[in-house]
Structure 1
Amino acid sequence: MATAPGLAAPSAKGQLSFGEWHTWYRVTGDPGSGRPALVVVHGGPGSTHDYLLRIAELAEDGWPVVHYDQLGNGGSTHLPEKGADFWTVRLFQDELDNLLKGLGIADDYVLFGHSWGGLLAARHAAERPAGLRGLVIANSPASYPLWLQEMKVLRAQLPPGTDDTLRRHEEAGTTDSEEYREAVKVFYARHVCRLRPWPREFMASFYEIANDPTVYHTMNGPNEFHVIGTLKDWSVVEYCSAIEVPTLLISGRHDEATPVTVRPYAEHIPDVRWELFEESSHQPHLEEPERFRTVLGDFLKSVSE
């Protein structure tokens, strides 16, 4: 696992039983400090906590931060033999509930959901759990059909011939070819992470997906913009009006989660504000870390007063 750069606050790691499996977690800072714990829900589905580790730096400001690896990846139980009927949204909702109860923070917490994690966090918040103090939805579409609609727009803006190459391999079922992978990198460099080189913790999550792509390939597909998995028709738009807690939306100017995909959150969540990061794509916590830390820290203060 990667290590958060410059992190001084103490952390504890462990595993929680989840049915017959285990969920790996890491707690940075003191959950008994009197402040709500910030629970970080990573993207994918099928990624890991690594690329979001820098958020643990907020523990230096007194905020306890919880990271975890969702079932099927990273330090949690791997189940490569399980099929699509096993990998459901409900499974990951139940895992999140189990984590909150198991760590004893279910009565006082804030959720930070990134990308797929944002949809999962929104779905959780719509259940109106009593201990939820606030919600952060970062770089997350509200609907996969909207996401797919916008992927067509972004792909059409790629350098000449790039989308043709992508489409040719997608139609032929050869998305594991080197030519396809090189074309994918063009999209990722524009809309997933604009830093050069990619940060170590970001690369760590990519390696973890490659190590066991079961969940990612089943629920998402071969990459960010060719979503052919079980989530392709899923949306949380209909749940947004049920979210009662203050909500912060985060997105990047160059984000693959375009304004069209994020706007339903802004339109339907009653208490919401939207922060756009001008120099970022899908990773503002890495691309504009100082502003990100300020924005998130100010939000945490606002929901803790």
Structure 2
Amino acid sequence: QNLMKKKSFKLIMIFGIIKKITILLLILFFTSCNEKINDPVKIIPISTEYGEFNVWTKKIGNNPTKKVLLLHGGPGANHQYFKSFESFFPNEDIEFYYYDQLGSTLSDNPQIEDLWTIEHYVEEVEQVRKALGLTKDNFILLGHSWGGILGLEYALKYQNNLKSLIVSNMVPSVPDYNDYANNVLAPQLDPEILKEIRSYEAVKDYTNETYLGLIHEHYYPKHVMRIPANEWPKDVSNAFAEINFPIYLKMQGPSEFGIVGDASLKNWDVTERLNEIKVPFLSIGATYDTMDPVQMEWMASQVQDGTYLNCPNGSHMAMWDDQQNYFEGLIDFINQL
């Protein structure tokens, strides 16, 4: 009888332990599921004619009517230089998404040149939009530099999916951009420096380290970001250091000193199609930009519902070197949508 009692007690103990373990496992399971549901990082599969590849996105904030997808520049840079947005958007209850385009740092890099086209990236953005559940009632697309080209091209094909388009620090014509770089900004450089730069360009030696060094030292601190290069914020330096140079070289060329050589974007121009854009539109320019601020203002007058924001103290990275004007104007525009 005592033996039976001992066995019964052991069984009760075992069942008790099993019950506790089961409860613990269930808690861990549902906690894990909840974390996955709330995980701000979302890896999105992108279908292409060369197979399926993954791109990285990350959500910051939560707002059902204000969702901003950020398109970084380059091509081939990454989301890191948008980190300045974290100091402003959350305080205004604006939801936004980081997104590394295919070939950029946290996304797949298939190294297929046929995918390095405007057409591919437009379709990629559309697949990202669908995966994130963005609609015409909340989808605000903000493209900076090359991202501005991509934003304009996306709107010209898919604007019915947009609530608004914001083009930051980009003009609607690369030939005009090159004209401004060569005939307005270049003459402002020291004549001897410009002469040396032109000597490399004359023989199309665009990837020469000395050539690139001259541009980085003398042109970038005046027109890309008006801060000495050795004092650039880490997030900006990292974005430039991690750029996918083969993509950048093929589409943009070797630097931000105009689009040169055989870069595929050198003839890009949508000035004649701007009047097709119906959604609320914001063009952001800056006085010291690599782009012509007059043309960026003109662009806002050519769309059907355009607004222009000028950053008087800023350059191409005005979200860093003229933050007060950049974010005050940007947030005001978004809040009025």
Same fold (TM over 0.5): yes
Determine if the alignment matches structure 1 residue 93 to structure 2 residue 122: yes
> Does the CA contact (< 8 Å) of 2:297 and 2:308 recur in 1?
no
DSSP 3-state at the match of 1:206: helix
Determine if the alignment matches structure 1 residue 286 to structure 2 residue 332: no
Q: What are the superposed Cα offsets for residues 113-163 of structure 1, whole Å, 9 maximum, x if unpaired?
A: 111111211222223533411121111011111111111021121112122
DSSP 3-state at the match of 2:57: strand
Structure with bigger gyration radius:
2
1:184 corresponding residue in structure 2: 215
Question: What displacement does 1:174 show?
Answer: 3.4
Determine if the alignment matches structure 1 residue 299 to structure 2 residue 299: no
DSSP 3-state at the match of 2:285: strand
DSSP 3-state at the match of 1:53: helix
Which of 204, 219, 234 pairs up with 1:200? 234
CA RMSD of aligned residues (A): 1.8
Structure 2 stretches lacking a partner, 5+ long? 1-37
1:7 corresponding residue in structure 2: none
Range with bigger deviation, 53-62 or 293-302: 53-62
Distance 1:97 1:87 in 2: 16
Distance 1:182 1:273 in 2: 37
Normalised to the residue count of structure 1, the TM-score between the two structures is: 0.89
Distance 1:257 1:283 in 2: 11
Q: CA 1:278–1:264 in structure 2 vs 1: closer, same or farther (change >3 Å)?
A: closer
Q: CA 1:53–1:170 in structure 2 vs 1: closer, same or farther (change >3 Å)?
A: same
Listed as ranges, the matches of 1:1-305 within 5 Å are 12-19=40-47, 20-30=52-62, 33-57=63-87, 58-80=89-111, 82-83=112-113, 85-107=114-136, 108-153=138-183, 154-185=185-216, 186-196=218-228, 197-209=231-243, 212-227=244-259, 228=261, 229-303=263-337
Normalised to the residue count of structure 2, the TM-score between the two structures is: 0.81
Q: CA 1:253–1:111 in structure 2 vs 1: closer, same or farther (change >3 Å)?
A: same
> Does the CA contact (< 8 Å) of 2:135 and 2:163 recur in 1?
no
> Does the CA contact (< 8 Å) of 2:301 and 2:307 recur in 1?
no
Question: What displacement does 1:264 show?
Answer: 4.6
Q: CA 1:290–1:264 in structure 2 vs 1: closer, same or farther (change >3 Å)?
A: closer
> Does the CA contact (< 8 Å) of 2:174 and 2:267 recur in 1?
yes
Distance 2:135 2:116 in 1: 24
DSSP 3-state at the match of 1:279: coil
Question: What displacement does 1:261 show?
Answer: 4.0
Aligned AA (1:287): D
Corresponding residue pairs, total? 288
> Does the CA contact (< 8 Å) of 2:285 and 2:297 recur in 1?
no
DSSP 3-state at the match of 1:290: helix
Distance 1:181 1:122 in 2: 29
Q: What are the superposed Cα offsets for residues 193-243 of structure 1, whole Å, 9 maximum, x if unpaired?
A: 00231111110111111xx31210111111112413000001121221111
> Does the CA contact (< 8 Å) of 1:119 and 1:236 recur in 2?
no
Distance 2:41 2:91 in 1: 17
Aligned AA (2:304): P
Question: What displacement does 1:173 show?
Answer: 4.0
Q: Point out which structure has higher relative CO (alpha carbons under 8 A, 6+ apart).
A: 1
2:12 corresponding residue in structure 1: none
Aligned AA (2:284): I
Aligned AA (2:290): E
